[in-house]
Every structure is written in structure tokens, then in C-alpha cells.
Amino acid sequence: MKFTSIGIPALDEHLGGGILKGSTVLVIGTPGSGTEFFAKQFASAGQEAVTYFTSTERDEDILNVMREYGWRTDLKIVNVGTRYYESVLAKKLEISRFRQEGVTLGDIRKFRDEDSMKEANFLTFLSYEISKLDPPFRVVINSLDFFLENYESSEVLMAMRTIKSHTQHSESVTLMTMLKGVHESKIQSSVEDLADVILELDREKAGHEFKKYIMVEKVRNKPAMVGIIPCVYDKTGIKPAP
Amino acid sequence: MPQKSGERERCVTGIEGLDTILYGGIPRANTILLTGSCGTGKTSLALEFLIHGAMKNENSLFVSVTENSEKLLTNIIPYRFFDKGLIKSGRLVFVDLPIMYERLGMTKPELSMEEIDLLVAAIGSLAKELGAKRLVVDSITSVCYKLKTSEKIRDFILNLGKVLSDQNCTSVLVGEVPATSTAYSSFGVEEALPDGIILMANMERRGDLLRTLQVIKMRGTMHSRAKYVLDLTPMGVLLVPLLKGGSTG
């Protein structure tokens, strides 16, 4: 089996059996287009052990969605967002206290051997966590926007390349989500360039409702497979319209 | 040192030759600039000033900017009079300024005016907490790299001097100048602000590299302006007058 599921059986079929093992998938869309939802459906599929990195959701929110749709809940959630805001907020609070009250000798000595005051680099953390995973793994990174907002884009791209090649060599799969139209086009193009498969979730107003589409924008080495697939959301998740 | 009427109380440096040059010591609560190029003995002299203070039960604070203070301590000259117990008892305290920068969230390369005030206040409150009567900042030039503009440097040194002086703390700011420089400071503004300037230099004489010391200015006291030859020994700094054309050195 050289394929693994993208999370939507009919889409797997459209892709000729699924996505190739070793693929990095990018899903993009405007806010509200369903990229986060798709990320969970992606996490529900395949045989690999799932690690879900999130920067925007609470663990509970993710699990609730998974339960609601009857998807697997045995995924490992790594909440980068919580860690980030806890450490940044804690540090900011501490700084304001020191600025207000001054730094005592005790404060200076206190953390001497620890680097607890040092702001963790979450980009490094992400790469490191992924490097530790036993292959084959299924990784979701929701979302790249968090990293692009907080780190230099060149650093983010370098980390993504590392993750991509690790995914490739270990015959695993990685999905990254990214908002459309918020980053510089050069950055967006670079991210799109390293993805093996790009899906864009789109919608169009038709009368009183939205028509929804999955646009398959890129399948590496298979240009014939790109196309626009109308889709619907039901109790099984997202799927091509009948 | 008996205090003559109308004369300022002295902070006896404990460095014999220097106290003689200064007619008894640095006027207490003065802020002085100890400046010179590398290898001229600035840090050793500043440290000795603090050790002598601590030995006289004056709490002394060394604010290290350039070098990690633990590393500094391992490289310290094995002074015969230096008792490590002074550090244990808290008479002599070493603090790394980069840690204070971090605690205060001053990790950017350049500090704002507000941050400079905060930094001065923080150093002042630390000196107060410790009841420091002597303080060394080694080096002020390294702090200046984070201040960048003359206005900020001026603001920092003036305010720091004032805060420490108000606590009756005698302070030595160590300044670094390039070996070829004839100025007393790297940024040109630091030298105009303190109450005193002691210049240390290297001087080549008959194939020997001598260390020299010269008090350029010292408010609140008379002083010699002659150049002295300085020797770093385990007994401490030794100063002898530089004899023009004599056989010294």
C-alpha cells in the first residue's frame, strides 16, 4: 500500500487511491471555510498514530468534534497555543512586576540555573516533537498562521521543509492548515511550493445558501488531478456532493 | 581619616597609592569613571576597591555587564587579603546585569527612555536593598551599546549617579576606550558627567609595557595629576610615581 487516506473516501478515489505515503498536505481557505474542521476529519483517517498540534483550540473542543462525528479520539493533542500564551503571559506578568517593584537579589539569584525565564521557541519545539514521533505518523498542524505570526517567515519555512522531508523519509503524512490571503504572497507561494497536495476550501453564495467546494489545487506530479469538487457537509463530515 | 572642617568625607579606596593621590580617598558618594583600554587593570582595580570596602564592613556591589561574574571570580588575582567569606556573608555581592535586563524584559538591542529610567531605578533599589556603600559597573561602555544615543547615555549616567549618590554610595563606572584613543570615553559623553575620572593606560618603555594610572579630575578634593606606574600584585595594586627619564621600569 503506497497510499493512505486523506480523510474523505470519495476524495481518495478522485486522487487515485488516496495520498501517497510521505506526503505533506496543505489545506487553505478563508476564515470560516472549514479548514479546521477538515483538519479533524484528516486526523480521523488512516492507520497511523495521530499527533494533532493546535495553536487555536482547546483540547476539549477538538475531542468534542471528534466524538460528535464518531471519529477516533485516541489522538495525541499537543496544544502549542496554550503553552505559548501561558509562557508569554507569565513572562509579561513577571516583567511588569519587576518593572514596578524592582529586582531584588533574590529575584536575580532565583532562576540562576534554570532557563524558565527564557521564552521557548515553539517552532523548534514543533520540529523537535515531530522528529521524535515513531513512523509512520499522521501529523496535523493547525495552523501555520500561528507560527508565521510569531516567527520570521524564513525560519518557519525552514522548519516546514524539515518537517516535510522527515514526513517524506518516514513514509508518514502531515497536514498543515493556513489561512488564505493573510500572508504575503511570497510566503504563501513558498509554503504552497513545499506541499505535495494542496486543497482549498471555498464557498460561493447561490441564492440563500453557500455552495461549497473542495478545490484540488495541486497534486505533485499529477497535474491532471487538479479540479473543483462541489461538496456538502453532513453528519459524516465533509464529502463530495452527490 | 580625620575630617577637616568643610571637607567632604572620604571613601578610602584601600589602594594605598591611590588614596595618597586623592588626599585621603574618593569623596564619598561621588560617581567616578575609571577608564582605559583593555588590559590596563581597570577591573582589578575596581574589584580591589570593593574588596577593601567589604573588609571595612561597607557593603559592596559589583554589577558585571561584560563578563559572567562567576567566570570573573575564577580569574580574579589571588589577592592575599581577599577572603571569600566576604561573598558568603553578603558584604561583597556580584550581580550580572544581563540577568537584570532579562528580568525587566529589556531584551531588545536598544532601550527606550522609559526603560532606562526603569533600569536606573532597579539598580538603585538593588543597591538600597543591599545597603551598598560601594558599587562598580563593569563596564558602563557595554551598557552604552544598549543606549546608543548621547541623550540616552547622558540620561542614564546622570540619573544613575544621582540615585547612588542619594544613598551615599560611592560608585566606580568602568569605561573602555580603544587602545589608540586619546579620548576618555568611547561615546564621548560619559566622560563629561561623572564627578571624577581616573585614566588607566599602557605605556611602552624600554621594551616593557607598563600600566599607568592618572587622576584626570576629581570633584571635592585636591589631587595629584601626575602619571603613576601601576603594578598588579597579590598584595594588591601598587602605585609608584612615574619618574621621567628615571630608571623605574
Indicate whether B245 belongs to any domain.
no
Closest-CA distance of chain A to residue B121, Å: 7
Closest-CA distance of chain B to residue A109, Å: 9
A1 has pLDDT over 70: no
Closest-CA distance of chain A to residue B122, Å: 5
B164 has pLDDT over 50: yes
Indicate whether B230 belongs to any domain.
yes
User: Contact, A141 vs A174, CB < 8 A?
Assistant: yes
CATH for B204: 3.40.50.300
Spell out the domain ranges in chain A.
6-80+122-222
Determine whether domain A6-80+122-222 maps to CATH 3.90.1150.10.
Answer: no
Contacts of B95 in chain A (CB under 8 A): 105, 108
- The DSSP letter of residue A223 is G
Indicate whether B246 belongs to any domain.
no
Indicate whether B54 belongs to any domain.
yes
C-beta atoms of B96 and A108 within 8 A: yes
Higher pLDDT, B221 or B179: B221
Indicate whether B4 belongs to any domain.
no
C-beta atoms of A102 and B126 within 8 A: yes
- Closest CB to A108: pick one of B95, B118, B121: B95
Q: What is the mean pLDDT of chain A?
A: 92
Boundaries of domain holding B103: 10-240
**In degrees rounded to 5, what are phi and psi of residue A53?**
-95, 125
Q: How many domains does chain B have?
A: 1
CB pairs under 8 A between A and B: 43
Q: What is the mean pLDDT of chain B?
A: 89
Per-residue model confidence as pLDDT tens digits over A146-164: 999 989 999 999 999 999 9
Closest-CA distance of chain B to residue A53, Å: 29
C-beta atoms of B95 and A98 within 8 A: no
In this prediction, residue B249 carries a pLDDT of 42
What does B154-202 look like in DSSP terms, one character per residue? HHHHHHHHHHHHHTT-EEEEEEE--TT--SSSSSSSGGGSSSEEEEEEE
In this prediction, residue B6 carries a pLDDT of 63
Rounded Cα gap, residues B34 and B195, in angstroms: 11
Higher pLDDT, A92 or A213: A213
Per-residue model confidence as pLDDT tens digits over A53-68: 999 999 999 999 999 9
- A-interface mutation test, from B65, B91, B103, B135, most A Cβ less than 10 A away: B103
Higher pLDDT, B184 or B19: B19
